[in-house]
Structure 1
Amino acid sequence: MKPLPFAALFGSLHLLLALVVQGSGYPHEDAYILFKYARHVAAGLGSVYFPGGPRVEGATDFLWMLGLAALNRAGLEVALAAAVLSAIGFALVSRRIFIAVTEEHANATEALLLSLFFAALWLVHPASVAGALGFSATLFAALSLELYVALTKSRPMAVLGFATVLALLRPDGVVLGAASVAVAALYAWRNGPRRRFFLSLVGALALGAAYFGARARYFDTLLPLPLIVKSHHGPMPPGLWEAADWASSTLLPMTIGGVLLAAVTRRYAAPSSAMALAPFVVHVLAFIPSFPSQNIANRFQAPFAVVLFFLVCKMAAYAVERHRRATPVARAARAFAVLGLAVVVLAPQGLVAFRALREPFLPDYVNPFSVHLAKLSEQRTRGGAPPLKVASTEAGRILYFTQGPVLDLVGLNSRETAERAPSRALLEAFDADVIMFHHASGMNEDQMEATGVDVFGKGPATTTTPVVRLTEPLWRYVHPWNALYLDAALKPYRELFADNVRVAPIATAGWLDEVGDRYEHYAVRFEARFARRHVYAIRRGLREREAILMELFRCHEPLLHGSHWAAVKLLRRE
């Protein structure tokens, strides 16, 4: 088998995995955010969070968004477009694995079997799963691997090309690309082509400056909103524990595996290969100073993880091939030992991937409810009323399908809440019909259930009650250590030394208490590690109030969980 058919085969398998996710579950919550921007760009509305809204840069993955928008414009649904682009990235890595194994293995049949084995492991790698969930991680990691190969082969012009694409694909690509170009510049200075490389570098820098200037003028901000939001945190580097967790699941076991394989084969990395890893180390370290939200399946560290995976595959293939003159039994035993080692060192990453892949299929009321909320809003507009206005801390699914005005309370997609908590004036001016927030462990859920009323059971609430009507002011549920965020005159996040995710819901609760009986408050059951209740505020007297409450209750039924494709078909019929 040739590399291209092999890559196409496994690219198709990855596409199938993504289609299973979309057909039986849903893409990840955070992937929907970028889907929404791509859909609006494809429709000619520009980079807006809702039709008629202001230009905002909530979608940081520029080339990824343009790719999704182009495919959507051509007729592909946005989630399907994401699956196609991820499959291309998966195929690129599969091709590299096939080439690396066949270079290390003389026997074509054995090389094919080894390639199939490693590509199967790649299918369940966290970087692969993140792509199947709708993120750009698989394609980004694939291009990063091509960048690494170009570095190891001392091809500075190729490095410059891949670095430029990565910088435009995702913001952290600037870090990886810049570090890689620095290494390539050393290669070019020593071995050439000096003139061509440095002239091209000037051109790439000019392109980057033009892009930065154009986007700053288009959005009227220097940085994308998610980068601003993630820069807010306490005194300790917020990404430190995330980096340590990734190191324990990926870097440490893969390094141990690599050292053992090197000791067995007595073949150690060339200086060029070791130096080529330096940009990937810099890339991982760059995430430590930022708040590590949205790092699904360790997707931010995917480039380094995939390079390590590639190196282990290459070393394992050589270890199997090295003792070709041994007896068949000895060769088979050695092969099983080497491949077993590969499985063992990849096992922690497999657990990360499994947890991430399981989530789309677990019943979660938010998935079907977001669709039914959009239907209620659409029915409202057909009756001549304006669409529902929704404010939420959950910027993905709950706001994806609705076409009316929306406010992102955390600030990933709303400029007014990126630098500081939602103000009283902002919330008053937006005048939402429905407010929903995740309190981020900032409120006492036991007290909510102890004092609340089961909306449909007409009795006291319990821990399993789907919809609880809250009978006390919201401030009574706020934990004492978060009470300061109820203040109407909060300082900007940078001065608070606190992150948006923790402050925004409490600040919103403070305003809801001030406006008194304008809203009715509810706590809705959901499944998560550190919380079990979303808080809803529904405008008192809203015509759709009873229908919204009924959908919140009905959508807890597992049989109504549905899927992304079922949701798309349902809304198209309306």
Structure 2
Amino acid sequence: MTATAAPERVTDPASPSRPARRSWPAAVTAVAGGTALIAAHGALYGNWVVDDAAITFAYARNVADGEGSVLQPGLTPTEGYSNPAWLALLALGKLVGLFDRGTLFGVPDYVLFPKALAVLCCAGVLLACHTAARRVFRRPGLVTVAFGAVLAAIPSFVVWVFSGLENPLYALVICWLAVVLFGAVLDDRLLSGRVAVTAGLLVALAALTRPDGLVYAGAYPLLVLLTSRRAGLAAAVRSAALSTAVFLVPFGAYVAWRRVEFGRWLALPAVAKSQGPPEPAQFTRVGEVVHYTGALAVLVVAVCVGLVLARGSRLASGLVALLVPLGLALLGFAVLAPDWMEQLRFATPVWVLGALTAVFAVARALGRGGARRRAVLSVALVVAIVPSAAQFATAARQFRAQPTVPMCLIAETFGRGFNGPADILGVERATLLLPDVGGTALTSRLAVVDLVGLAEPRLADLWGARDMPGVRDYVFERVKPTFIHSHGSWSQATGIAEDPRMAADYHVISAGPVAEDWVRRDAVPDEARLTAMRDYLRERVTRAHGEQAKSPRGRCGPALRPGQQP
């Protein structure tokens, strides 16, 4: 093991000549201040929750109600989620009456609870930063607030942390993993059993929060490899093996349960998305992160990191422990199939680890050298920050105006929207096939079939094989749904709207100029009811859809329940 450099004599106020005093009031103030900055940015997006998050909401509801791992009560159990750790938090919230019950302080708990969890996770991220900063800076509070300010400025981070998805928990786990490794390197105890076990458990939690969390299984072994001497190779191997074994026990147990319960090694979303081996061209996707951040800002930060590493200080040793997981975060982002959602949804760990590394490196670089070097670096930072800030402001403004697939828009238009036509037909248990199933599953009394395959096993397999003729055959020959909705890219990808069986077996009931809604001909007893359904969609559902579209950051009632109507 390479010995950690002894604390050198320092003159700048940014670095401690002795360990920073424990000052919990100052720490709480710094963490609260940084969290408030992030929450203030998050408040710009109001009550918006992305519809994909509502898929997990639906599973959490049914798990907590004792219905099992189902999208809706009575359906066959499936694993239509890939974030079991986040699902567990939501289910726990429902069990204790904080989620999916009604309103809290006048706000629907389907908005308040996941966003409150996000705020708590952000506070945990900032606490991790303070824990690391107090080891190497005399003013860790200032560093922590700066870290919070950087995260608050990045729309990609804030948008997806407050989206209702698992991103805040993922950010928290990855940040603490990096901080644990950071402290272990500073204390020259990287090979200790406690560190190995802690790292393994954190990696397991990351992998149970998002599938790409598996990439961080390499963080501890890689860091051990980089910092160990040849003479200590045996101890390094033992520690790496221990950490890996600790990771595999809980994660392996979950995978084994999945295999027994569902007969699959992968969750349905992973099957449907068919993540293949990475191709060389995919690694250029790191450029998307650089472009989003601003090339000049990245360059200035890289120079500061280089200055810190070149000096070989105590912080330099710890900085390596941050760069290893940061590199893995960039790798994970690059190899994942591009996501159709906006604002780099999969880059959350990159922002957390990148901001932590940047703030530490810049703080140290500004605290070193003479007045001339500080002045030059300060000017460079300002010049780099201005275009990045302008770019971030534009991204936040655009997303605020048109957020990605609001859950309430889906719940109102499709979940509640198709309950009325089903009532007109007088059917007790109809089926509804569509590509947006989150808010739909929370509000529809119909049996929902996921056209995209995220919660439908056979369709997941067909999507994974990119067998669109098979998708259409399964829909028209096996499922034979009572109602079908498809639109835009989903209709183009599947070819479902143009299939001859659609015209032969279904009536068009869409209110608009393009056919997007259909009902089975054999489910309609007479022309009067067909007309009534068309009138319902044209008058009531179109109006409700328009109101939600005008207020994409709004709410959709105090609670989401099956059978509701617009």
**TM-score bracket relative to the smaller structure:** 0.7 to 0.9
Structure 1 residues 374 and 103, CA gap change in structure 2 (3 angstroms): same
| Identical-residue share of aligned pairs (%) | 23
Q: Is the 8 A contact 1:97 1:314 kept in 2?
A: no
Bigger RCO of structures 1 and 2 (CA < 8 A, at least 6 apart): 2
Q: Is the Cα contact below 8 Å between 2:55 and 2:438 reproduced in 1?
A: yes
1:417 to 444, 452, 459: 459
Q: 249, 256, 270: which is aligned to 1:213?
A: 256
1:391-438 residue CA offsets vs partner (Å, 9 max, x unmatched): 112233454432421111121111111122424344344332331223
1:73-84 correspondence to structure 2 within 5 Å: 73-77=95-99, 78-84=110-116
Structure 2 residue corresponding to 1:291, chosen from 323, 337, 344: 337
Partner of residue 149, structure 2: 120
Q: Distance in 1 between matches of 2:129 and 2:384?
A: 14
Distance in 2, Cα, partners of 1:340 & 1:273:
24
CA contact 2:118–2:162 (8 Å) conserved in 1:
yes
State the match for 2:6 in structure 1.
Answer: none
* Alpha-carbon distance in structure 2 between the residues aligned to 1:40 and 1:356: 35
Q: Does 1:248 align with 2:305?
A: no
The 5 Å alignment of 1:174-323 reads: 174-176=214-216, 178-183=217-222, 186=225, 190=233, 198-199=241-242, 201-231=244-274, 242-250=285-293, 252-253=295-296, 255-262=298-305, 267=311, 270=316, 273-274=319-320, 277-286=323-332, 288=334, 290-293=336-339, 296-322=342-368
- Rate the CA distance shift 1:253–1:17 in 2: closer, same or farther, 3 A: same
Asked if 2 retains the 8 angstrom alpha-carbon contact of 1:257 and 1:341, the reply is no
**Residue 51 of structure 1, aligned match among 40, 55, 73:** 73
Alignment RMSD = 4.0
Task: Measure, in 1, the Cα distance between the counterparts of 2:224 and 2:134.
Answer: 31
Q: Aligned-pair distance for 1:8?
A: 3.4
Residue-pair matches, total: 495
Residues 50 and 404 in structure 1, CA contact (< 8 A), matched pair in contact too: no
Q: CA deviation at 1:59?
A: 0.8
The aligned residue for residue 21 of structure 1 is: 45
| Cα shift at 1:223 | 0.8
Which stretch shifts more, 385-394 or 160-169?
A: 385-394
Query: Structure 1 residue 167 and structure 2 residue 191: aligned?
Result: no
SS in 2 for 1:297: coil
Instruction: Give the C-alpha shift of residue 202 in structure 1.
Output: 2.9
Counterpart in the other structure of 1:553: 542
Structure 2: distance between partners of 1:288 and 1:119: 25
Deviation of 1:367 after TM superposition, in Å, equals: 4.1
Q: Deviations over 1:265-302 (max 9, x none)?
A: 77478466446534543454345555323554223232
Cα 1:294/1:84, change in 2 over 3 Å: farther
SS at match of 1:406: strand
Residue 90 of structure 2 is aligned to residue 68 of structure 1: yes
Q: Deviations over 1:234-258 (max 9, x none)?
A: 9978956754423432495554122
Residue 217 of structure 1 aligns to which amino acid in structure 2?
V
Q: What TM-score, normalized by structure 1, do the two folds share?
A: 0.73
1:106-505 equivalent positions in 2, closer than 5 A: 106=138, 108=139, 112=141, 115-125=144-154, 126-152=156-182, 153-154=184-185, 155=190, 156-157=195-196, 158-176=198-216, 178-183=217-222, 186=225, 190=233, 198-199=241-242, 201-231=244-274, 242-250=285-293, 252-253=295-296, 255-262=298-305, 267=311, 270=316, 273-274=319-320, 277-286=323-332, 288=334, 290-293=336-339, 296-322=342-368, 326=371, 337=379, 339-340=381-382, 343-344=385-386, 346-347=388-389, 350=392, 354=396, 357-358=399-400, 367-368=408-409, 370-371=411-412, 373-375=414-416, 385-420=427-462, 421=468, 422-440=471-489, 502=493, 504=494
Normalization by structure 2: what TM-score? 0.74
Mark the CA change 1:72 to 1:360 in structure 2 (over 3 Å): closer, same or farther: farther
Paired with 1:360 and 1:281, the residues of 2 have a C-alpha distance of: 32
Structure 1, unaligned runs of 5 or more: 444-501, 526-532
